[in-house]
């Protein structure tokens, strides 16, 4: 049971990291949720949902976002710097 709890906690931490990193990169590059969504062909509601940790992005979405900001996937999933 502890194993499942640890997995769930790790998943929550990764979702928070992704959300925080996307928000930080958007702010740094002065890109709105709407513009980011347009660049990766998503709705701004989906971007908002990811940034608010309400939905888990697909790996393909994480890759597209990394490409927009010219960072690695690791830069998006690990603790914000």
* Domains, the chain: 2-77 (1.10.260.40)
14 compared with 3, residue with greater pLDDT: 14
Determine the pLDDT at residue 81. 63
Task: Give the model confidence (pLDDT) of 55-73 as tens digits.
Answer: 999 999 999 999 999 999 9
DSSP the chain: -HHHHHHHHHHHHHHHHHHHHHHHHHHHHT--HHHHHHHTT--HHHHHHHHTTSSPPPHHHHHHHHHHHT--HHHHHSPP-
């Amino acid at each position: 049971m502890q194993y499942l709890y640890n997995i769930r906690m790790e998943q929550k931490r990764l979702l928070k990291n992704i959300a925080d990193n996307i928000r930080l990169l958007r702010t740094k590059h002065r890109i709105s949720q709407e513009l980011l969504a347009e660049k990766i062909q998503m709705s701004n509601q989906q971007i908002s949902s990811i940034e608010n940790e309400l939905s888990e992005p697909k790996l393909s979405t994480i890759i597209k976002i990394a490409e927009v900001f010219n960072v690695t996937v690791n830069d998006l999933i690990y603790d914000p710097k």
